[in-house]
Amino acid sequence: MPKLGRLFVAFCFAIAATMVSAQEKTGIKQGFQLQPGTARILLLEPSVRVGSQSTGGLFEPNADWTEQAKNNLERELSEVQGRLGNRVDRHELDGSSASAKLHDYNALFGAVASSVIEYQFFLGNRLPSKKKDKNEFSWSVGPGLKDVPALKGYDYILMIRTKDAFGSAGRKLLQIAAAFGGVGVTAGEHIGMAGLIDIRTGELVWLNADLQMGGDVRTTEGAVKRVSQLLEGFPGRGVQ
Partner 1 sequence: MMALSKALLRVAAVTCLASPSLGADTYTLPPYSPAYEPRTLDERGLWMEADVHEKRLAGSPMRIRDDHLSQYVRDVLCRTVGSDRCGGVRVYIVDIPAFNATMMPNGAMSVWSGLLLRVRSEAELGAVLGHEFAHFELRHSLLGFQNRRSNSDLAAWIQVLGAIAQRDVSDTQLSIVGSVYRFNREQEKQADLLGLKYLKSSPYPSRSASEVWQHLMEEADATAAGRMIRKKHQYSAGFFDTHPTELNRADYLLEEALKFNDPGEAGAKEHYKAVEKYLPRFLSSQIRLNDFGGTEYIVSGIAGHTGWTGALLQARADMYVSRGNVRDLITATTLYLNAIDSGYQRPEIYRGLGLGLIKLGRNDDGRKYLKLYLENVPDAQDKKMIQLYIDDAGGE
Q: What is the DSSP letter of 31?
A: T
How do beta strands 40-44 and 156-167 pair?
parallel
Kindly tell me which of 174 and 193 has the beta carbon lying closer to partner 1: 174
Bridge-based pairing of strands 204-210 and 24-28 is antiparallel
163 binding partner 1? (CB under 8 A): no
72 near partner 1, rule: CB under 8 A:
no
As measured in angstroms, the least distance from the Cβ of 99 to partner 1 is 5
Based on DSSP, count helices (H) and strands (E) in the chain, helices before strands.
6, 8
* Sole window of 87-95, 194-202, 208-216, 226-234 interacting with partner 1 (rule: CB under 8 A): 87-95
- Pick from 34, 88, 116, 174 the residue near partner 1 by CB under 8 A: 174
3-state helix, strand, coil in the chain (%, to 5): 40, 25, 40
Query: Which of these segments, 98-106, 131-139, 157-165, 229-237, binds partner 1 (CB under 8 A)?
Result: 98-106
Residues between 31 and 50 with contacts to partner 1, criterion CB under 8 A: 49
Query: Given candidates 16, 17, 100, 111, which one binds partner 1 under the rule CB under 8 A?
Result: 100
**Residue of the chain from 27, 57, 192, 215 that contacts partner 1 (CB under 8 A):** 57
Q: How far is CA 12 from CA 8, 22, 134, 183, 187, in A?
A: 6, 25, 34, 15, 17
Instruction: Based on the shown chain and the rule CB under 8 A, indicate whether residue 240 belongs to the binding site for partner 1.
Output: no
Q: Which of residues 193-222 bind partner 1 (CB under 8 A)?
A: none
Q: What is the Cβ-side half-sphere exposure of residue 204, based on CA atoms within 13 angstroms? A: 26
Q: How far apart are CA 78 and CA 107, in angstroms?
A: 23
- Answer yes or no: are the C-beta atoms of 126 and 120 closer than 8 Å: yes
Q: Which stretch binds partner 1 (CB under 8 A): 31-39, 79-87, 88-96, 126-134?
A: 88-96
Residue 177 within binding range of partner 1, rule CB under 8 A: yes
Residues 6 or more apart whose Cβ sits within 8 Å of residue 75: 220, 223
Q: How far is it, in rounded angstroms, from Cα 192 to Cα 212?
A: 8
Of the residues 95, 124, 128, 149, which one makes contact with partner 1 according to CB under 8 A: 95
Stretch that binds partner 1, among 21-29, 63-71, 130-138, 212-220 (CB under 8 A): 63-71
What residues line the site for partner 1 (CB under 8 A)? 1, 3-4, 7-8, 10-11, 14-15, 49, 51, 54-58, 60-64, 66-67, 93-97, 99-104, 107, 170, 174, 177-178, 180-183, 185
